[in-house]
Amino acid sequence: MKWRKFNGETINLPIYDAVENVIRRETAAGYRLKVCIGTDSQVKGQETEFATVIVFLREGHGGFMFIHNEKTRQQFAIKERMLVEVAKSIEIAYELCNLFTIYDVDMEVHADINTNPHFKSNDALKEAMGYILGMGFAFKAKPEAFASSSCANKVVN
């Protein structure tokens, strides 16, 4: 899985090591960190592009993110695509969750799913929430899910 920084710089370490280095560096600099993980997707013709982000928030001092992009020609119904987004976020959260426990870093999984029932993505809300909470992770949906609905969205649009 290839990861990069927002400026395009490639992250050459395994993501676990890269995230651990960030946590060590930022906490040594005196910052209290919070990590938010989210995925968004965009259908472009025959392809669906997914972007998963790991957003590092320095309490009161801004933040930065790591990005992973993937493209597929597989076709999805809207509910299925929302749940694939959630699965991609959970995959990364699960891979990294031991780090967050070791270093006492708060982590949330953000789902780009609208809490308003008038939106199509809302059809996947119950399943997504159950999936994320069932894995033991904190859950945020729109409008609070900025990692997916703002950060990842910026990458795929």
Q: How far apart are CA 8 and CA 31, in angstroms?
A: 24
117 preceded by a cis bond (ω within 30 of 0): no
Q: End-to-end distance of the chain based on CA atoms, in angstroms?
A: 21
Range(s) of the domain holding residue 118: 3-156
Residue type, 127: E
Structure confidence at residue 41 (pLDDT): 97
CB neighbours of residue 43 within 10 Å: 13
CB 114 within 8 A of CB 128: no
CATH number for the domain that contains residue 58? 3.30.420
**Residues linked to residue 40 through DSSP beta bridges, in sequence order:** 51
Amino acid of residue 122: N
Do residues 48 and 71 lie in contact, with contact meaning Cβ atoms separated by under 8 Å? yes
Instruction: Give the integer Cα–Cα distance in Å for 42 and 148.
Output: 12
- pLDDT for 133: 96
Which of 57, 118, 50 shows the shortest CA–CA distance to 88? Answer: 50
Residue 98's nearest CA partner among 12, 28, 15 is 15
Domain count, the chain: 1
Residue 155 pLDDT: 95
Per-residue pLDDT of the chain (157 residues; tens, 9 = 90+): 899 999 999 999 999 999 999 999 999 999 999 999 999 999 999 999 999 999 999 999 999 999 999 999 999 999 999 999 999 999 999 999 999 999 999 999 999 999 999 998 899 999 999 999 999 999 999 999 999 999 999 999 9
Per-residue pLDDT at 31: 97
Its pTM stands at 0.96
